[in-house]
Structure 1
Amino acid sequence: MATRLKKNILKLLKEDEEFRYAVAGLIGLEEILKRLDSHEAELVRLREDMVAGFNRHDEELARLREETNRLREDMIAGFRRHDEELARLREETNRLREDMIAGFKRHDEEIAKLREDMIAGFKRHDEEMAKLREDMVTGFKRHDEEIAKLREDMNRGFDLLSRHLTAIGARWGIMAESAFREGLKGILEKELGLTVEKWSAFDESGVVHGYPSTVDIDISVRDGVAALIEVKSHLRRSDVAEFSRKIEFYIRKTGRTPDRRLIVTPYADAEALEAAEKLGIEVYTQV
């Protein structure tokens, strides 16, 4: 009977299209039901996983909430400390501002006093300078008067010297150069009251005579006026040039510049007078 039933079912499946579709639908529904059961079990597991996940999230959120609350409390406490610190800093800044204002005020007072002292000092300095200027002008005036008087005395002395030179020439005739120099120096000392001293130094470079040698120069100092004097019986241009070299040698050696440069001679060539004028040397022939 079972075999017959199976054959009949197979025959219906072949011959009856509607039956065939009905059987296929039944077979598909069963598969769907199986799948639905499987899906339901999967959904149950998924729900359990979601519940577990939500529980974990709730716990994590709770911890985050606790940490956030602690952070908020720490922030509030920190802001409170900052507010207190800012208040103290504001007080210190105010005190510092007051101290600075007081210090600037003291400085302004000190600067004002210093300015007054400086003005008073400059005024005293100007008065002292004015007095010093007056004293200098008076001193220069006295100095000029003394120099003028000295020039007059020297000119009078040179007049006397001229007469003595004429007498010497008439009495002894032509004299040796060295004897003439010594005689004329004696007259300068006696008649003019000039103290003539000899200054000597060794010229290593040979600037004066062209070779290393001892250089002698007559020096006279009166009333603070220093004069270098050269006495010649006959003055030539070469004598003027040599005396000029002696003067430069003296300045280089001593570091002092003479006030006057004098050549005393009873006779001078025209070229010698011209050279002396160019070199700033005074020549006395009518003495």
Structure 2
Amino acid sequence: MSLDWGRLEEVVERAVRRARSDELREVADAVKTLADYMKTGFQETNKRIEELNKTVAELAKRLETHGKILEEHSKRLEEQGRLLAELTKRVEEHGRRLDELTKAVAELKVAMGSLGRRWGRDLERTVLEIYRDALEKRGVEPGRVEKFVYTDVDGRFMRPGTRIEVDVYIHDGGLYLLEVKSHAELEDVEWFAEKAEAVEKILGRKANRLIIVAVNIDKEALERAAQLGIDAVYGAVIE
């Protein structure tokens, strides 16, 4: 709010005119000087008041702007909180489903392991039947081949805990050890040779013949079998 200097100046002028008319020039000059000083002071005060009003208005505008920004940030935080809650819920749901899937996979592994063992036995019987003629020429009756399983717990014959599993055919005092594979590789031949040696020690007798029966056999596996004295019965050689 500014001061009404015009009205005040009018009052001072009347006082000066009256003082001059009464020949009180010194008083009139003093009043005039005082009036000029007051006018300058009032003008300076008004100027400062206007500047202060502008500053206050600017601050108010800034506060309003900051208020809007703060309100926007609050809305964003609220939205982010909602999204975080939703994401947490989804993560929990995925975690639950993952637990269920893990359990299902574990159950499937058990089932597949059992099924795999059954398939393995059926596959061996099937392969033996496929090569029945070749085996009978070697003195082996496929229908009488049995599974020999031994776990070397204390490591007397192989590494401790090794599971030794081969097919065995015994007839008229003869011992035949067989390894049946759908596809025989070099490692299969060498592993069969190691197992056969251990079985001979376990049974305390030498095998009459070692036979590996395979639908397909790698060329290097066939060559290695010949080197180890293993007879190979097979359908095809894989180069």
TM over 0.5: no
TM, length-normalised to structure 1: 0.34
More helix by share: 1
In the superposition, the TM-score normalised over structure 2's length comes to 0.40
Structure with higher strand content: 2
